[in-house]
């Protein structure tokens, strides 16, 4: 009987922990922390079969255009890998930004950003080679907290954040996934 009570308490404690963590993640992600930084970094996402950015990726890029035009940063790193669809995400991202009026010479392509950790590490190396100290990361709201952690772990000490303005039903799945991924990044770096 005592074991069942303990297990029940443990179960409800874990559920409470998950709920609190998820609320903090959502609030952190929806609260843009923008300030003047050396570089904006847009994390990659799916490219559609026709070679166009997915709605999620397009919304990240649109946010980067908005912040660039408001002079929050003068340079942009686009980071992504080779997607299942066969497109270089980072190159598609650069092409989209150029069409949106961003000068090509301020966009740095990282086509080895296969995941958040790789994007953080690659971006840190790019930042070091360009003498950039501060960054603004741009991604989905549910991904902001883990992305900032990855950048801190990579050695970027001043990280601002902004979220893409798109909400989808799949965000529920993504929030659950982020719970586990955050602690993986926190403890298994």
So what's the pLDDT on residue 95? 97
CATH number of 24-187: 3.40.50.620
Residue 28, Cβ density class (10 Å: 0-12 exposed, 13-18 middle, ≥19 buried): middle
So what's the pLDDT on residue 139? 97
Q: Look up tokens 């000490």; give the residue.
A: 157
Residue pair 179/22 in contact (Cβ under 8 Å)? The answer is: yes
- pTM summary value: 0.91
pLDDT band for 83, please (50, 70, 90 cuts).
confident
| Domain limits, the chain | 24-187
pLDDT at 105 over 80: yes
User: Could you read off the pLDDT of 112-169 as tens digits, one per residue?
Assistant: 999 999 999 999 999 999 999 999 999 999 999 999 999 999 999 999 999 999 988 8
């Amino acid at each position: 009987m005592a074991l069942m009570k303990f297990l029940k308490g443990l179960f409800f404690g874990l559920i409470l922990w998950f709920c609190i963590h998820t609320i903090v993640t959502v609030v952190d992600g929806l609260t843009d922390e923008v300030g003047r930084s050396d570089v904006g970094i847009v994390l990659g996402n799916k490219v559609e079969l026709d070679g166009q950015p997915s709605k999620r990726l397009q919304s990240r890029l649109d946010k980067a255009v908005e912040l660039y035009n408001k002079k929050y940063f003068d340079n942009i790193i686009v980071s992504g890998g080779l997607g299942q669809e066969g497109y270089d995400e980072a190159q598609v991202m650069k092409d989209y930004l150029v069409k949106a009026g961003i000068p090509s010479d301020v966009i740095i392509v990282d086509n080895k950003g296969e995941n958040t950790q790789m994007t953080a590490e690659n971006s840190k190396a790019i930042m070091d080679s360009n003498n950039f100290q501060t960054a603004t990361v741009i991604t989905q709201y549910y991904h902001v907290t883990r992305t900032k952690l990855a950048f801190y772990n990579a050695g970027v000490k001043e990280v601002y954040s902004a979220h893409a303005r798109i909400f989808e039903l799949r965000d529920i799945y993504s929030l659950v996934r982020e719970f586990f991924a955050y602690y993986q990044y926190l403890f298994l770096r």
